[in-house]
Amino acid sequence: MKELQLLIKPVSSACDLQCRYCFYKEEAKHRKNADHGIMSLETMEILIDKALKAADTCVFGFQGGEPLLAGLSFYRQFVSCVRQKKREEQQVFYTIQTNGMALDDQWISFFKEENFLLGVSLDGVRKSHDENRVDHRGEGTFSQVFENLKKLQEKKVPFHILCVLNAQTAERIEAIYRFFIKKGFYEQQYIPCLDPLGEVEEGKYPYSLTGEQYQAALERLFALWFEDKIRGVPVYIRQFDNYAGMLRGAQPEACSMYGRCSMQNVIEADGTVYPCDFYALDEYEMGNITDSNVDFKVLEEMARDAERAPFFADAEKRDERCPDCRWYPLCRGGCRRDLIPYGKEMRNRYCEAYQKFFQTAIGRLEYLASICI
């Protein structure tokens, strides 16, 4: 295959924080084995070997839990192993998502040397961040994360800000955006908060994002982003930039914009493979990468066969209203995790928010697409 993207969980669901809305720790509780420990060197080598044999370009992405808990030596060995095994013409890229707490000088030097792209979680200003992103003592973590982000800037290590849109951040979205721009955090991603698996009641938890909150946050954030784009500020918001790209005929980056579920190659610490980060559950296991009968060609074939991979039986399951919706070419039905039962139908909890947002934003999106900003 031409390109292979992996989402590796080197420490499973382990984390040094206790974020109140953490979807993966909650998701892991639904498995027979919630925590698979730290990935062994043997599993790591098998994973690397099979990945490099499968594709011309490999993107090794690391998430958690908190992936830095695997230790710097793990990543040094990982990169060294890739260097030894990769073909001369082969391209390799590294990404990692972190809560930012452990980013000391050694980590930063390593990431700069090995050209890692970081995604660092920062839920805006101190008040909104510390509301949910707390340590094991229940204390806020804004100060330490912000100081470490400044170190990344000083060393010119590329990173994106990952801001979870929840009840607290949606309420303060203007202050958050202006804070990011003021501090030079121009690459931004805003991720709708997930309620626990199976939850259908809107706004049940203190952090829950309602459709009304999401709509208001999208509209205000878009207005600020558009104004800065026109002024030449080099700001990138993944969701909005993807919409503008789609209007020019480009393929979106985010899987929630594909219109169907795709194979995400989530690799747990013990080598178990899942199709999606939001569905890393026992019933959707697709095998183990350490198994001699499992490789990425086999996994790709499984993803096209609903009998072998039950997750993909509902790959195109989206809101029942999607086929008749004017905005489907841009929305594509959103993420499957956002579907909730409505009578005998399934509906996206944010459908109305997206419809109202596109109605107000489409003219400006089309303008940006036409001038290729």
Q: Edge-to-edge strands of the sheet including 3-8?
A: 236-237, 187-192, 159-165, 116-121, 91-98, 57-62, 3-8, 266-267, 273-274
Sequence letter at residue 155: K
**Whole-number Cα distances in Å, 33 to 37, 238, 248, 316:** 10, 34, 45, 29
> Known catalytic residue: 277?
yes
Residue type at 72?
L
Q: What share of the chain is helix, strand, coil (3-state, %, to 5)?
A: 45, 15, 40
- Residue 254: CB atoms within 10 A of its CB come to 13
Cis check for the bond before 65: say yes or no (omega within 30 of 0).
Answer: yes
Helix (H) or strand (E) holding 7: strand 3-8
Give the separation between CA 128 and CA 169, rounded to whole angstroms.
Answer: 6
Q: Are 319 and 346 in contact (CB under 8 A)?
A: yes
Cβ neighbours around 65 below 10 Å, total:
23
Please report the DSSP string for 142-171 in residue order: HHHHHHHHHHHHHTT--EEEEEEE-HHHHH
CB-based contacts of 332: which residues, under 8 Å, 6+ apart?
Answer: 252, 256, 257, 258, 259, 318
Residue type for position 23: F
Residues, the chain: 373
Give the ranges where 183-323 is alpha helix by DSSP (H).
Answer: 211-231, 238-247, 296-302
Q: Are 264 and 7 in contact (CB under 8 A)?
A: yes
d(CA 54, CA 56): 7
Could you give phi then psi for residue 144, rounded to 5 degrees? -70, -40
Of 130, 277, 295, 314, catalytic: 277
Please identify every residue annotated as catalytic. Answer: 277
